[in-house]
Amino acid sequence: MKPALRAAFLALLLAGGAHAQPLQDPTKPPAAATPVALGPQAVSSGPQLQSILIGRAAGGRHVAVIDGETVRQGESFRGAKVVRIRENEVELARGGERQVLRLYAEAEGAIKGDHAATVTVRR
C-alpha cells in the first residue's frame, strides 16, 4: 500500500505544477496608468504641484501641496508668494516673474507621463 500511496502523491505533485498560473498583484495599477519617462525632457527640475484642496463654502480654504510642503494662498513658498490657487493650478510670483504649476498637465497637451507642469511667465 505504501508504494501506491507514494505513486499517487508523486502524480499529484507533477500534475499540480503543470497547471499553476502566476498570481497577479490586485493593487498594481494597469500599465496604461503608469507614467513613462520619455527621456531627460520628461523630468522637471522645478517645483512639483502634488495636490490642491479647495473648501466648498464660499471663501473656503485654498490649500496646495508643492514638493511636500503645504501652502495657503498669500503665503510664501521658497521665496515666492502664492498668488492664486485654482482647481487645477497654483500661481507663484517672485519679483516680476510669475510661475504657474499645474496638475494633470497631460490633459492639456504636455509630455505624456509628466503629471505636473510648470509654466513661467515674465512680465
pTM of the model: 0.53
Nearest to 34 by CA among 115, 116, 117: 115
- What is the biggest distance separating any 2 CA atoms in the chain, rounded to whole angstroms? 92
Nearest to 117 by CA among 96, 98, 100: 100
**CATH hierarchy code of domain 46-123:** 2.30.30
pLDDT tens readout for residues 3-39: 888 888 777 777 655 556 778 888 887 776 666 655 5
* 80's grid cell: 515666492
Hey, where are the domains in the chain?
Answer: 46-123
